[in-house]
Structure 1
Amino acid sequence: MKVLILGSGGREHALAWAASRSPRVTEVVCAPGNGGIGQVARCVPVDMKDVAAMLRLAEAEQPSLTIVGPELPLSLGVVDAFRERGYRIFGPTRDAAQLESSKAFAKQFMKRHQIPTANYAVCTTGKEVEESIKHFHAPVVVKADGLAAGKGVIICPTRQFAIDAAHGLFSGELLGVAEKQVVIEEFLEGEEVSFLCLSDGTHVVPLVPAQDHKRIGEGDTGPNTGGMGVYSTSDMLEPTMTEWILHHIAEPTVRGMAEEGAPFVGVLYCGLMMTARGPQLLEYNARFGDPETQAILLRLESDLVDALEACIDGSLAETEMRWSQGAAACVVASSSGYPGSYKTGLPITGLSLAAQIPGVEVFHSGTTRVGSQLVTSGGRVLGVTAEGDSLEEALSRAYEALAQIHFEGMYYRHDIGHRALKQPRR
């Protein structure tokens, strides 16, 4: 088999690494890929905003299977276009991907299908925001309706702050694109859990859960990012809680999408808040998370390609996924200044030393190759990922590997997994 992976980040590097381990796979091609992905796949250029260009690439490469990494091509209908041409592709159609591409659609869908979530209002004008905000206590959450690369969620300490934030989204001042709708949402408190599942449009199989660290600063302070680190352990959720989430959130979502004529085939990512009133769904993603995928796939013992093909074939119920006990953790090394402005083109050293540490895989998010030298090319540069019998061991290995790596201004959090380490195991 030849496998084509669309995307260029740490998630795609982890997917390429996992696909290359399948005994059925003879070649992995990644488009556009990055400097590190070139170690496990052949990288070829493509524009992620151009469905026709991705189709031309498929015609040239003739992959047996295509895996879509990022959300943008899904929202543009790349799966619909590939399917029409007879290519086997893993991911949801444009209509099914609305669960991620429109926050308003997702919240209204949750309400229709009685999926537990925060109280909300969908507003199309500033005046509607001012009226709706009266029904919410501060702090309140304001969300852009469309895709915003992790920057469309604003936690507002006062109602006036929320009104101003909504006006900034409508005007385009905050994100550079004017939103036609915004979502006002009740602020929920609790522990966040990333609950990812595979779906073939009818059946749902959970992956192991993970917890992401979105904020740039130690102790979960400072602005939100695309994710500064993540961990996954075998005791994060009790089996009864996993069953509850499947029964009340994941399965009703897949059933509801099928009933509404947009069967969901792909990865259903449920971003949950574990509150005093039980798990509440914050949002959906319609693809693998980044950096969750790096930690999750390190724990996968069965064949990823078999599972993804079962989703396409509608035979997921007959597929068993096997996971290692213990833990995995990913710590992101970022450029100085991220998530704001940052320098690129900085040489990276120490990667071969880091890779020699047992249980460690270094996944590249923002690197490129200049001659024989790997240099930085993004805000999140590397996802240093490790597995171990315990979370403490996995984190110790990841931080030991990070100590070997250097580029100018390299920044990473030293407290990934801090909530789990300070608490008795559930």
Structure 2
Amino acid sequence: MERVGVLVVSYGSRASSMIDAFTRSQNYDVDIYVADKQRNPFNLEKSVKHIVIPDLDPENICKFVKKNQGEIDFGIVGPEKPIINGLRDLVEKKTNVPILCPTKKYAIEGSKVAQRHLFEKVVPEVNPRFKVFDPKDYKNVDDVKREVYSWLDELNNQVAIKPDAPAAGKGVGVWGDHFADRENLFQHFLSNYEYGPVIIEEKIEGEESSFQSFCDGKHLVPLPETRDYKRAFDGDEGDNTGGMGSYKDTGNLLPFMASKDREKEIKIVKQIFKEWKENGRNTGLIGMPFYVAFIHTAEGPMILENNSRPGDPEIQNIMPILKEDFVDVCFKMLDGNLTRVELEEKATVVTYKVPPSYGGFKDKFPKQVNNDEIGTPIDLSETKKLSQKYGNRLRVYPGSMELRNGKIYSRTSRTVCTVGIGDSIKEARAISLEGLQAMKGGALWNRNDIASEKHIQQSTKHLESLRNRG
């Protein structure tokens, strides 16, 4: 069996799911080299070499690749920050090891302003109305406040505020969800504005879906639709998070979507791809340049944003049900001949467990927190037994979790996710939740309504009512 060395740049469960897919290779003997944000216990177990680079700095990752240059055949990147910071450009220039992610030029999630201008040029009909407020264009706070309030008048306050750069200030804020008066809205605006340009765009009503596709620079291969749950608490309440869970159905569509919705999404993304690709093949787009957040409205899908990496948690819905060898998929992307990806026709549900500080849970529900468990080791032994019971139908992917002195502890972000796999969303959800419930320690908590029948019915009825109204 041919030996293949693979570099995985890791932060969170997303990378663990990709590592899991590599270890299931039937065609290759895979050695995995991990550049990790922490001592992730899953990644430590599965890798031949593991290095912790807390800030995932491209220079230090490149040094790790250089040390193992003769052993690594290619690399793949999970988190966005190294992609935005030009990791691929650097590693390929200094080591000739090919990296599966877009080059810095196409890491479009580095600027929401650049995204909006691109969509305005290529697909204006699905781009919400927006206005950019750049600090260099205004003399003082009073000047920008007048302009902001004038724009709010035009949109009747129904807006979303987004910083240009990822993780700047307080992040995205939405009228009616995060604030209900202009003064609070403007304070949120200022918390982002001090870091650079801010977009205020019209708030769109509808139901969200996540579109992901592998790309070899010449072909775009769409993956099945997934639904992410950004809000912290049941009933879609609380702050936005990195995603508390997600689901996919047995086919390519979500329950509330029609075939024409997906066809429209694919058409939109292909238009953007064509703009970037120009003629022939653009190798700068190898990997996953399109992880697009769509919102389905009365008029059809609109674009919320595009990301230049796999989704977390959405890629965890996909990796466990790949029918073909993931190493082969990666080689085809590098060679420019990836035209399709086969998946099992299964439903998958991802649910995260997170620490009590995450999403504001401890502040909102103090009585539900087991304070005696905070900071205690996490015991995954019963969940691992369930994994053996369910075989390939339950996957456990540590995320913000690390090994210390032989014990596993949660860090501050999304700690661990389980992926349930079944012949229906209901079955997959039950398996995912059972896996979470078997975990002990750390005072971890999770949303209980990810992929629930009630939530799916609400999404379906909501979109139906919008379209009937339209």
Shared fold, TM over 0.5: yes
Among 379, 387, 396, which residue is 1:362 paired with?
396
Closer, same or farther in 2 for the Cα pair 1:414/1:341, shift >3 Å? closer
Among 393, 399, 402, which residue is 2:433 paired with?
399
Which secondary structure does the structure 2 equivalent of 1:380 belong to?
coil
The alpha-carbon deviation at position 2 of structure 1 amounts to: 0.6
Paired residues of 2:169 and 2:192 also in contact (CA < 8 A): no
The alpha-carbon deviation at position 113 of structure 1 amounts to: 0.6
343-352 or 137-146, which deviates more = 343-352
Aligned residue in 2 for 1:9: 12
Q: Where in structure 2 are there 5+ consecutive unaligned residues?
A: 136-140, 363-372, 465-470
Among 262, 267, 287, which residue is 1:266 paired with?
287
Q: How does 1:4-403 map to 2 (within 5 A)?
A: 4-22=7-25, 23-32=27-36, 34-42=40-48, 43-62=50-69, 63-85=72-94, 86-97=96-107, 99-115=108-124, 116-125=126-135, 126=141, 127=144, 128-148=147-167, 152-156=171-175, 157-171=180-194, 178=195, 180-233=196-249, 234=251, 235-236=253-254, 237-247=257-267, 249-259=268-278, 263-267=284-288, 268-317=290-339, 320-340=340-360, 345-349=375-379, 350-358=382-390, 359-403=393-437
Closer, same or farther in 2 for the Cα pair 1:424/1:185, shift >3 Å? closer
Deviation track 1:72-121 (CA, whole Å, cap 9, x = no partner) reads 00111011112213111000111100x20100000000001125121111
Paired residues of 1:141 and 1:162 also in contact (CA < 8 A): no
Which secondary structure does the structure 1 equivalent of 2:52 belong to?
coil
Closer, same or farther in 2 for the Cα pair 1:424/1:70, shift >3 Å? closer
69-78 or 292-301, which deviates more = 292-301
Which secondary structure does the structure 2 equivalent of 1:329 belong to?
strand
Distance (Å, rounded) in 2 between the aligned partners of 1:413 and 1:334: 9
User: Aligned-pair RMSD on alpha carbons?
Assistant: 2.4
Distance (Å, rounded) in 1 between the aligned partners of 2:353 and 2:233: 13
144-153 or 352-361, which deviates more = 144-153
Distance (Å, rounded) in 1 between the aligned partners of 2:223 and 2:150: 41
Deviation track 1:243-299 (CA, whole Å, cap 9, x = no partner) reads 22111x211111122349994222110100011110001001110111111112122
Aligned residue in 2 for 1:174: none
Distance (Å, rounded) in 2 between the aligned partners of 1:87 and 1:28: 14
Distance (Å, rounded) in 1 between the aligned partners of 2:374 and 2:62: 31
With the length of structure 2 as denominator, give the TM-score of the two structures: 0.83
Distance (Å, rounded) in 2 between the aligned partners of 1:61 and 1:101: 29
Paired residues of 1:198 and 1:207 also in contact (CA < 8 A): yes
Among 424, 427, 443, which residue is 1:409 paired with?
443
Which secondary structure does the structure 2 equivalent of 1:36 belong to?
helix
Closer, same or farther in 2 for the Cα pair 1:39/1:284, shift >3 Å? same
Q: Where in structure 1 are there 5+ consecutive unaligned residues?
A: 172-177
Instruction: Report % sequence identity.
Output: 27
Distance (Å, rounded) in 2 between the aligned partners of 1:213 and 1:378: 19
Q: Which structure would you say has the larger Rg? A: 2
Distance (Å, rounded) in 1 between the aligned partners of 2:332 and 2:60: 27
Distance (Å, rounded) in 1 between the aligned partners of 2:168 and 2:229: 15
Deviation track 1:385-425 (CA, whole Å, cap 9, x = no partner) reads 11000001001111111221111321011110132256779
Of Structure 1 and Structure 2, the greater helix share is in 2
Paired residues of 1:344 and 1:377 also in contact (CA < 8 A): no
